[in-house]
Homo-oligomer: A and B are copies of this chain.
């Protein structure tokens, strides 16, 4: 049974920064709570303040240590910080790992830092509609910066781009040579590159590789943002302030060039489309019974019909 929720009060509490209200709203996003529409309508006027920063990188580069160190550096500037760790890698188990929820122990007692792990429920497109809503909650709750970290590998590295104003790509010596980075498609997505574990052998080579690969791309044209490459040792808080400066510079550049608004427009359009698709999928789900998708699927399996003509029938019913 769903407990009735007083949305206006909850939203007001979240806006004043009450951690439990923020947590409750994000849970409602995760659970696709029936009152989510009402929540999002109430939050709408208070969105757009936070600088949304995506953090991505292969396992082993020190993602959570770096996120932790970034939170520390942002708190030194007295900024209110949200952290959302998204795990799209676990399609069957669902639910975020307990370890994620408790690992950023440096900040759990700081009332001006919100930390939250979310499972994206393993569905393709899961990231695309739950995460923007969770971000909107943290934004409306008055966060100045929200860090979105994807746990896991693969597609998620690319998906995160659509979610963030600024994307930070983390590398480590020996893992992030230029060719690998190019193959993974991360050269195209990084606004700021960070070579972590820079006290290890090969850090300068990695920096050189990345700079070289960037110079080969079309990023060097005048007026375009040239992604900086920053060295850090996140575990010792070295270089982290330089990362924050690079993030600030990117935000200023985006504002100056109209790029911030352009990215947010693209993001909002993607989010709207994701909600539309989700809603249409639900209607199709309702059509899975007699005379619906299931019957048509049988005709396709039996070779009586092809999948396009079957799709046409569904479209006719939907629209």
Contacts and interface: CB of A to CB of B under 8 A. Distances in A.
Interface of A: 36-37, 40-41, 43-48, 88-93, 122, 124-125, 128, 132-133, 152-156, 158-159, 183-185, 188, 261, 264-266, 268-269, 271-273, 275-277, 279-281, 284, 288, 293-294, 296-298, 300-311, 314-315, 318-319
Across the A-B interface, the 7 shortest Cβ-Cβ residue pairs: A154-B154, A275-B311, A268-B297, A269-B297, A44-B306, A268-B300, A40-B306
A301 B93 contact: no
Number of copies: 2
Which one of A122, A152, A308 has the highest number of Cβ atoms from chain B below 10 Å of its Cβ?
A: A308
Nearest to A277: B277
Main secondary structure of the interface of A (DSSP, over half): helix
Contacts of A40: 306-308
Contacts of A152: 154
A276 B284 contact: yes
Question: Which one of A124, A298, A305, A306 has the greatest number of beta carbons of chain B within 10 Å?
Answer: A306
A265 B124 contact: no
A253 to B, nearest CB: 19
B155 A91 contact: yes
Contacts of A36: 308
A88 B124 CA distance: 13
Contact of A280 (B92, B153, B280, B305): B280
A314 B266 CA distance: 16
A281 to B, nearest CB: 7
Contact of A154 (B45, B156, B266): B156
Given A265-B297, A308-B40, A280 B279 contact: no
